[in-house]
Amino acid sequence: MKPRVLITSNDIPSAGIDLLRTKCDVTIIQTTNPSQEDVLQVLPGHDAIFVTNHLNINSDFLNNAGTSLKVVSTMSAGYDHLDVPEIKRRGIKVGHTPMVLSDAVAEIAVLLALNAARRTHEGRLKLEQGQVMKNLQWLLGQELRGSTVGIVGLGNIGQAIVKRLKGFSVARFVYTGHSRKKAGDELGAHFVSLDDLLEQSDFVIVSVPLNNETRGLFDDDTFNKMKKNAVFVNISRGQIVKTNALIKALRNNIIFAAGLDVTDPEPLPPDHELLKISNAVVIPHLGSATVKTRNDMSFTAAQNILNGLEGKPLIYEL
Ligand code: DGY
């Protein structure tokens, strides 16, 4: 009998589904973001589950998942929606899809850095209000050229961001994290403390995973340490930033601007304060949203499942 795989969304790119169908019986839940309850109704009896970051897999979920589950595979790099220690404690393998999305997310970081620095959102608002250039001081922005760029978390995405920004004549790259990295040396980036990074950087780009150490890392205190001209970019997870502190920093010109692919809450309600601030460029978590990257993520998540079911190491195992 073929192993049974449950796919928890009806909009997963076919690359992964086609791969799974070569060796497994595949069931697809016919809604886009089903609730835990909807998933649990059909999950028992399946050997593997293919999820996205909309589904929380915690101890309660696993208590109701039945006894046949052997692999949990998320089509995302981030895994803050999974209780990884609990999944593994139950002998279930768990995988994710880093690396294949680093380039696409890095492109979004560059896009946000430039848009926030050059005030494109504010300019668009002025056009809509019928305002035209008033004087030569109108809508002046910041440049990457000659700047110091600080990367908080020099993982694969952080490294991909540095590689792209090198083409913009940045004067100095600094980064912070647990320790100095060989990749940092190779990129010519300097390892510094978080405080030094905040004090020195003209651009602060966040690319760390969300965990207990990083949740709420950016608060009043961190924003107050930044330069007045600093452009803050977040492409990782919204909860790394205390939203009220960011709003205060933007409104009171404690920092220059922000570019956000992720927010807390997410999605932002249409009347949310962040959407009313002209020096915040906000987009709806588009980091990995390209045709190629989503296909690659789907394929990798499927390959993780096949490997797990065949008793092989997953491509990217947690
Ligand atoms: C991820 O994969 O974690 C990205 O945030 C895209 O969802």
pLDDT for residue 133: 79
β-partners of residue 48 are 5, 71
**Residue of 178, 190, 272, 285 marked catalytic:** 285
Give yes or no: residues 221 and 247 share one domain. Answer: yes
Angle ∠(218,221,222) on CA atoms, nearest 5: 45
Q: Is the peptide bond before 267 cis (omega within 30 degrees of 0)?
A: yes
Q: Say yes or no: CB of residue 76 within 6 Å of ligand 1.
A: yes
**For residues 304 and 318, what is the distance between their CA atoms, to the nearest angstrom?**
11
Ligand 1, residue 289: give the atom nearest the CA: 6
Residue 87 and residue 184 in one domain = no
Clarify whether residues 110 and 85 are in a common domain: no
Task: Determine, yes or no, domain membership for 251.
Answer: yes
Domain count, the chain: 2
Q: Is 77 in the pocket of ligand 1 (CB under 6 A)?
A: yes
- Cα of 32 to ligand 1 centre, how many Å? 16
The pLDDT assigned to 108 comes to 98
Asked if 150 and 205 count as a contact pair (C-beta separation under 8 A), the reply is: yes
Q: Same domain, yes or no, for 93 and 116? A: no
Domain at 301, CATH number: 3.40.50.720
Are the beta carbons of 68 and 47 closer than 8 angstroms?
yes
**In this structure, is residue 316 part of a structural domain?**
no
For residues 201, 204, 206, 212, the Cα torsion angle rounded to the nearest 10 degrees is: 70
Q: How many CB atoms lie within 10 A of CB 196?
A: 15
Q: Ligand 1: does its nearest atom lie under 6 Å from the Cβ of 101?
A: yes
- Beta-carbon neighbour count of residue 111 at 10 Å? 18
CA of 297 to the centre of ligand 1 (A): 10
Residue 138 structure tokens = 């109108």
- From ligand 1's centre to the CA of 198, what distance in Å? 25
Structure tokens at 256: 């220059």
Domain that holds residue 153: 102-282
Q: Whose CA is nearest to atom 2 of ligand 1?
A: 76
Residues 6+ away with beta carbon under 8 Å from 106? 157, 160, 161, 163, 164
- Ligand 1 mean position, distance from CA 291 (Å): 14
Q: Are residues 197 and 264 in the same domain?
A: yes
318 domain residue, yes or no? no
Is position 274 within any domain?
yes
32 and 124 share a domain? no
Q: Which position has the token pair 């009220």?
A: 244
The pLDDT of residue 132 is 83
| Burial per residue of 44-76, b for 16 or more beta-carbon CB atoms within 10 angstroms, e otherwise | eebbbbbbbbebebeeebbeebeeebbbbbbbb
The verdict on 134 and 262 lying in the same domain is: yes
User: Mean pLDDT by 10-residue block, N- to C-terminus, for the chain (318 residues)?
Assistant: 97 98 98 96 97 96 96 97 98 98 98 98 95 89 98 98 98 98 98 98 98 98 98 98 98 98 97 97 98 98 98 98
257 - beta bridge partners? 231
Task: Please indicate whether residue 285 is annotated as part of the active site.
Answer: yes
**For ligand 1, is residue 288 a contact (CB within 6 Å)?**
yes
Please tell me the distance between residue 89's alpha carbon and the centre of ligand 1 in angstroms: 24
Which residue has the least CA distance to atom 7 on ligand 1? 76
